[in-house]
Structure 1
Amino acid sequence: SPPQEFPRSDPTEPRSPPQELPPSDPTEPRSPPQELPPSGSAEPRSPPQELPPSDPTEPRSPPRELPPSDPTEPRSPPRELPPSDPTEPRSPPQELPPSDPTEPRSPPRELPPGRQLRVLLTPLPEAAWPRAQKRLPSPRGPASKRPCPEAESGPRAAPGSAAGPSSDARGQDGLWDADSDGSDGGDAVPDGDSHLSAYERKRLKNITENAKFFAALKLHESAARLNQLTTKRRSRITKRAKPKKVEDEPARRRSMRLLRVQPTDLPLVETLAQPAAEEYPQVPAGPLPMVPEDEAESSEWTEALLGTWMRISELNTDHADRGTPDIKRYQESLSSMVLSEGNVRKVVKARVCSMAIHPSQSTILVAAGDKLGHVGLWNVSSRSEEGAHTFTPHSFHVSCMHFSPCNPAHLLSLSNDTLRCADVTRAVFDEICRSEEDFSCFDFLEENACTAIVSCWDGAVAVVDRRTPGVSPELSADIGFRRTRTVHVHPLNKHYFLAAGLVDVCVFDVRYLKAKGNKPLSSLKGHTKSVASAYFSPGTGSRVVTVCADDKLRVYDTTSLSSSVTLLSSIRHNNNTGRWLTRFRAIWDPKQEHCFLVGSMAQPRQIQVFQDTGTLLHSFCSEDYLTSVCSINVVHPSQNILVGGNSSGRLHVFK
């Protein structure tokens, strides 16, 4: 702006003393400099007023011409301004409109002689400079314009110096032209965003360039074209025609309850759906011919097997000398028994649930029953491939098998619904007893094997007499068990039998059995979970061994059958066989009164022999041929022969 002319001061006019100004507030906007009126020589001069800091971006005006001062005129001393607080915020500098350089300037006006204008400029400290505040970027101006740059990096320009290009490089809208030579490469920002840092300006630049890059790829157009192509392809797919229903297909029954229809309102469907074919058909009642499962009629190999069974049964099987050897000799005999490759054979198709061994001393004949109702016969001494044959006398799993003690030509087998006797002399499977209740185990009440005690899964027991015509039991008695797994008759006192249930093991007297209200003679306590088996010792019946699901083998002293029986030993043993293995059954060795055998889950697979005191005497194992768990075992009554059966129907003979 052009310099202003002030009237000349009268040197004779007295000057006023200097006035003290209040401390200025840095946050309060400052008023522009005021024009001083002409003063007389006697009038005191006012102190110079502080002018606001100049905008570094505003073009500077030319210096003003001041008149020469009168040396004779007394001058007022300069006033000291209070120091400014650097912590107080300062108001941002106000932008002045750019001046037009083409506009003619007015000539400077001359001041009257003796008058002089003094301006005191005080620079601000660096801590009081205005600080940048973050703001969200907003689109301003057309796409071809870029915001004006502001130098943030490097030292700041001093107040009053020019910062940035001149206003000539700006457009009409206050933005920098992106195509101008003074462009900073896209880092410029609008004037309103001049407070942004270099990092934020770089970030805005990257966002803009990425947006342009993705716009150049035309992803939306490509996605639209792909969507059109997939839509056209789907329209060409044709659905497969549904097959026509067979006309002679029987009508399918529908639930009246789901249809909410009363049974009286809807007539019964005359043609019902045929029942699904069962994998194993039900075995008919009555006698069955002794014909192998895979053969329509008896073959030469079957005739040879049945002939061998008949021949060895006619021989005298009674052995008067059954002396019990001492433990040392017995242990030596166990060590001499080995398993060879020829003594391993798959006899039945499924998991072995029961076994029996013929008492003959000349020939080893083993019978095994599986969970599908098959009965397999294996002549171990034949050494031929056709030495084993499988029969199907039952519809369900065969849970118990015994050769008749008085006539080994009879093999009795028990399933869920029937008790049958395989008579090799007539080559038939006779039906002895049939019931709607599920059978679980049986044992002979007499030496002639005419009567037997049969246990049921629901807890009851039944007495069966083979001499009575018909297939119904003679007596059914409730002994108070919820489930009965095994029954075993005392070897000397045949009227006593041992029953094992869930957690109950008791001794009953068959002479006092009645339909309900039966009380046990003795109870074997201490079991906390279900009991799998309980058997008397073979010679005197003075010991009872039990297998419990609480991983314990218990031996009781039953010399005197009183109300409570003494526990002799408790052996820790893993009895957790799971659902795919038959539960363990500890059996006594007929040749040794105080030793029993049981399967094992230990590795390598083995069959263990324990003494009634809990001592482990021997373990039958073979790393080459015994590779599975033998849950069911049987011992020859007079020879050192042990047979173990696994869950795949395979038998292992140690001899």
Structure 2
Amino acid sequence: MGFLATVQKILSPSAKANSTMTPTGDDVPTMDAKRARVTSARTRNETPVKTEMAEGGVENVKEELEAAADDDDVGEDGLTAFEREREALIKRNKARMEALNISTLSADVGGRAKGPAPSSRGIGSKRRREAKEPVEPTRRSSRARKIAPELASGVAYERRDGSVVLADGATYRPDGSYAEPPVKTRPSGEVKLESENGSEKTDAAFVEELRTKMGAFVETKARGITASVREMVKNKLTLREEDVAKCVPKGVTHLDFSHDESMLLVASGDKEGHIGLWRVDKQAKENDEDDDDVVDDGVLYYKAHGNYISHCKWGHGALRGKLFTCAYDGAVRVLDPQTGSFAETLYSEEDEFSACDQFSHGNNALVCDNVGNLHQVDLRAGKFTAKSLSIHEKKINTVHIDPGNENRFATSTNQLVSVWDVRKLTKNAKAVHEIPHSKSSQAAYWCPDGSGALLTTCYDDALRVWNPDQDVNNPSALIRHNNQTGRWVLPFRAVWSAAGDGVLCGSMQRHVEIFNPKSGASVAKYSSPDHMTAIASRLACHRTLNYVAAGTASGRVHVYRADGR
């Protein structure tokens, strides 16, 4: 008899009935009870039988099962020989597992697989609003529909680089190549402060809080910069679980602290045009029993732009108390708490803004794009004040006006950092100073103390402090730093401390590092393996409080501050 046939015979109810006489008496189990025990034992021992087969081979198990099939008598213990043999197999397998300490080992493996859970505060813990219907229908270009474009009647305009934009948004370049029309996701006009993750109730409460506190801040005299690296080191900054929140859906590209101390507010922008506003000290408010609104834990985010946020800073002068943003969608916006909206200050159909900075009076700004052009903008009139100037051949990563001398500004681009004079921006303008780098320079920022020191970050694994008026060939400080962030992490951009007495940068070891800008020596390293589990590539320092905000590619913001708060 074959192995499978034997097993079928053993488990078959008809076979049982034919091979076993039904005894009389209350002490002998019925056939139904015997079947139930066999089925239960078979279910409990499915894995041990497989283990025994692997240990002793298929033939051994086959012989044992056949032997059990030949002896179906019920013993005094109420079990058949087959059932007794299965119970023995279970005991032997359990003994082997205990000898190998398998249960402990499996528990250890499970424990090691679990890492620190990311913070649940922020947009990940909220109910999203119902998806809004798209403003514009999805379009298919003439090329996709196999229709030749009518150039004579369908030309919209010609770009400065000689490419022609058709009426449907497609582009013909001077080299004859063709580009499909872009999918328009940019919000147009004024964008109300209607968050993507809150409710009407939480949005209204936040707008009112902004109007009250930011309005009072504008009317009072701003405090000077009081935060310093010396105080940071003295106070030993730490990171608590409640000081971590997911503020935007995608990677943080820019972030900044509001200057107002009455409301610890962090603004952050991400790679898809979202702006997150986080009231760090806001305590989560539980819902009422009959209230189905979401819990307000201080984090709300908005779809203010249609693409990568290239600038997100709280304003100065006329823009005090307002958030100034721009993005690759060609829009410049200002969040005004008094109107409760992101106003569209400027929009350019043909430009993708990659960098921006504003003058201290808040009336004008410099905006750069991803093909090397510089634009001068009047924020009051919402228009360019002069023709665009081509000052670089490739995308401009950063532009920064010297707070100590607003007649000059610095730009960083591919392998070059340049210093420009605002008063000499003519058609064939030339840089006052050029500082070559061996690889791409990701950032160039002037020191906030007005000393004229310039901090650069380069892919050649170095942070450098320059004094352009004295020497553009040799930096005054060289800081060796691993800047190879790879494909999935935004490039590091080292920043100054608020007082200009320190250089801060993220780390591939998930640290926030502080360096001495004169000697280049490491001053401090802050980390929290339990709460900051990703690499922070973008940082911001508070002007008056010894706080540091660190943004990661997961959209989370981490605020380091002293234990005493």
Which TM-score tier does this pair reach, normalised by the shorter chain?
0.5 to 0.7
**RMSD of the TM alignment (CA)?**
2.9
Change (3 A) 1:480 1:652: closer
Q: CA deviation at 1:492?
A: 1.8
Tell me whether 1:503 sits opposite 2:415 in the alignment: yes
Q: CA deviation at 1:252?
A: 11
1:305-316 map, 5 Å? 305-313=206-214, 314-315=216-217
Q: 2:249 maps to which residue?
A: 349
Secondary structure (helix, strand or coil) at the match of 1:633 reads strand
Q: CA deviation at 1:575?
A: 0.8
Q: For residues 150-201 of structure 1, give each alpha carbon's deviation from its aligned partner in whole angstroms, at most 9, with x where no partner exists.
A: xxxxxxxxxxxxxxxxxxxxxxxxxxxxxxxxxxxxxxxxxxxxxxxxxxxx
Secondary structure (helix, strand or coil) at the match of 1:462 reads strand
Between the aligned partners of 2:385 and 2:307, the Cα distance in structure 1 is: 20
- Number of corresponding residues: 377
Q: CA deviation at 1:363?
A: 1.9
Between the aligned partners of 1:368 and 1:458, the Cα distance in structure 2 is: 25
Change (3 A) 1:638 1:473: same
Q: Does the aligned pair in 2 maintain the 1:367–1:376 contact within 8 Å?
A: yes
Q: Does the aligned pair in 2 maintain the 1:402–1:413 contact within 8 Å?
A: yes
Between the aligned partners of 2:346 and 2:201, the Cα distance in structure 1 is: 32
Q: For residues 284-324 of structure 1, give each alpha carbon's deviation from its aligned partner in whole angstroms, at most 9, with x where no partner exists.
A: 422222211246xx622112222222233223664555468
Q: 2:472 maps to which residue?
A: 564
Pick the structure with more helix per residue.
2
Change (3 A) 1:486 1:541: farther
Q: For residues 391-419 of structure 1, give each alpha carbon's deviation from its aligned partner in whole angstroms, at most 9, with x where no partner exists.
A: 11111011211111234431111101111
Q: 1:617 maps to which residue?
A: 523
Structure 2 unaligned residues grouped into runs of 5+: 1-141, 152-169, 171-180, 285-294
Secondary structure (helix, strand or coil) at the match of 1:542 reads coil
Secondary structure (helix, strand or coil) at the match of 1:399 reads strand
Q: 1:607 maps to which residue?
A: 512
Between the aligned partners of 2:150 and 2:222, the Cα distance in structure 1 is: 70
Q: Does the aligned pair in 2 maintain the 1:339–1:653 contact within 8 Å?
A: yes
1:217-616 map, 5 Å? 255=146, 282-294=185-197, 299-313=200-214, 314-315=216-217, 318-319=221-222, 322=225, 329-333=231-235, 335=236, 337-384=237-284, 385-386=295-296, 387-406=298-317, 407-416=319-328, 417-435=330-348, 436-445=350-359, 447-468=360-381, 470-472=382-384, 474-515=386-427, 517-525=428-436, 527-558=437-468, 561=469, 564=472, 566-591=474-499, 593-602=500-509, 605-612=510-517, 613-616=519-522
1:104-115 map, 5 Å? none
Q: 1:242 maps to which residue?
A: none
Moved more, 372-381 or 565-574: 565-574
Change (3 A) 1:597 1:317: farther
Q: Does the aligned pair in 2 maintain the 1:309–1:365 contact within 8 Å?
A: no
Between the aligned partners of 1:324 and 1:339, the Cα distance in structure 2 is: 18
Q: Does the aligned pair in 2 maintain the 1:522–1:563 contact within 8 Å?
A: no
Q: Which has the larger radius of gyration?
A: 1
Change (3 A) 1:394 1:408: same
Between the aligned partners of 1:471 and 1:287, the Cα distance in structure 2 is: 16
Secondary structure (helix, strand or coil) at the match of 2:344 reads strand
Secondary structure (helix, strand or coil) at the match of 2:213 reads helix
Moved more, 475-484 or 485-494: 475-484
Tell me whether 1:631 sits opposite 2:544 in the alignment: no
Q: CA deviation at 1:422?
A: 1.0
Q: Does the aligned pair in 2 maintain the 1:374–1:394 contact within 8 Å?
A: yes
Q: For residues 191-214 of structure 1, give each alpha carbon's deviation from its aligned partner in whole angstroms, at most 9, with x where no partner exists.
A: xxxxxxxxxxxxxxxxxxxxxxxx
Change (3 A) 1:563 1:454: farther
Change (3 A) 1:252 1:651: closer
Between the aligned partners of 1:280 and 1:291, the Cα distance in structure 2 is: 23
Q: Does the aligned pair in 1 maintain the 2:227–2:545 contact within 8 Å?
A: no
Secondary structure (helix, strand or coil) at the match of 1:524 reads strand
Secondary structure (helix, strand or coil) at the match of 1:382 reads coil
Structure 1 unaligned residues grouped into runs of 5+: 1-250, 265-274
Between the aligned partners of 1:328 and 1:429, the Cα distance in structure 2 is: 37
Q: 1:19 maps to which residue?
A: none
Q: Which has the higher contact order (CA 8 A, sep 6+)?
A: 2
Change (3 A) 1:281 1:292: farther
Pick the structure with more strand per residue.
2
Between the aligned partners of 1:539 and 1:371, the Cα distance in structure 2 is: 31
Change (3 A) 1:473 1:391: farther
Runs in 1 of length 4+ with deviation above 3 angstroms? Answer: 251-257, 278-281, 316-325, 327-330, 470-475, 562-566
